[in-house]
Structure 1
Amino acid sequence: MFENFLIRPDGLRNETRDGKIVGFSLAVRHANYRGCFLSLHNGYFIEVDGVEYPVDAQAFEINGKPPRSFDTIRGAVYEHWHYDDEGIVHVAAPGGLAPGEHAVRFQQSVLAAYGYLPTDEAWVKQPPKPGTGAGSDKAPQIITYHLNLAAEA
């Protein structure tokens, strides 16, 4: 149920670097009340207005550290993402998103379990693709959010 509240409604932004819009970002929360060790965070299924943005186009910012790829985060075995901490998902998308309302389909993939599961070893070696439901922990459904991107002033 908490998956309905994973994206902050006013957290959709375009990102600019050297005067050019290079992508967009979303302010996100964790679905599991226990949080998780960051190495278990596998990325997101993100689709905006029918365009899917794969995990390799995503970077994650948390704990005051700069954005990191999920391949890098996989090695953050001692770093924790606390339930009440907000993270930022950065998505590489040249030109970003147009101002206005966007339909964002979203699912968080966190390989957290309450004990050993037969999939654990396989998922460590080859994490499941976000959006398939595998490894979705407390957020098993893809949720559609309707988010507004304000025009830049």
Structure 2
Amino acid sequence: MFEKYLVHPKGFRNVREQQEITGFEVQLRIPYYRGLPMSCAEVIDLTIDGEKVAVKDMIITVKGESFTFDELATAINHRWEMIETITVFVKKLGGLAAGEHTIHAFVSLRISYLPFNNVGDDKKTLQLEA
């Protein structure tokens, strides 16, 4: 139900650090009707234009604090709320070319009171911000 909102249409951009593009960012919204601790995110997969992003190349930022995917298991006090986005920074020297790109995101969340994970699967074509 909420998975269609997973890939946020805003905030898709290359990231520049000291005159060099070091990667790009994608904004994601939680595919669930309640907020959860980031430690409940068991899977965050990104595919850009058919190319899967390695988990080791992602930095996830929630409420101003950044984590590698492996560190999310310890982020018990950092909540991903329904109305908020998280930023996924992908390390990629040179970033992405200007224009349209297809972003496919898959998220699997552990819910304490459900015997199965809640998953979100969304694909959108977005214009890269300058």
- TM-score, length-scaled by structure 1: 0.76
The one-letter code matched in structure 1 to 2:54 is P
Larger Rg: 1
Taking only aligned residues, the RMSD between alpha carbons, in angstroms, comes to: 1.8
Question: Contact between 1:42 and 1:70, CA under 8 Å: does it hold in 2?
Answer: no
Question: Contact between 1:10 and 1:148, CA under 8 Å: does it hold in 2?
Answer: no
Q: Report the CA distance between 1:64 and its aligned residue.
A: 2.5
Q: Percent identity?
A: 28
| Structure 2 match to 1:124 | none
Report the secondary structure of 1:74's partner residue. Answer: helix
Q: Distance in 2 between matches of 1:103 and 1:85?
A: 22
After superposing on structure 2, the runs of 4+ consecutive aligned residues of structure 1 that deviate more than 3 Å are none
Matched, 1:53 2:53: yes
Consecutive unaligned residues of structure 1, counting only runs of 5 or more, are 120-134
| Structure 2 match to 1:21 | 21
Matched, 1:149 2:128: yes
Q: Distance in 1 between matches of 2:25 and 2:43?
A: 13
Larger strand proportion, structure 1 or 2? 2
Question: Contact between 1:59 and 1:70, CA under 8 Å: does it hold in 2?
Answer: yes
The count of aligned residue pairs is 130
| Structure 1 match to 2:40 | 40
| Structure 1 match to 2:73 | 74
Deviations 1:35-59 (A, max 9, x none): 1111111342211112110222111
Q: Report the CA distance between 1:113 and its aligned residue.
A: 4.3
Consecutive unaligned residues of structure 2, counting only runs of 5 or more, are none
Deviations 1:66-102 (A, max 9, x none): x210211211123322111221111111111100001
Q: How does 1:96-115 map to 2 (within 5 A)?
A: 96-115=95-114
The one-letter code matched in structure 1 to 2:91 is A
The one-letter code matched in structure 2 to 1:51 is E
Deviations 1:102-124 (A, max 9, x none): 11121112222424x4x8xxxxx
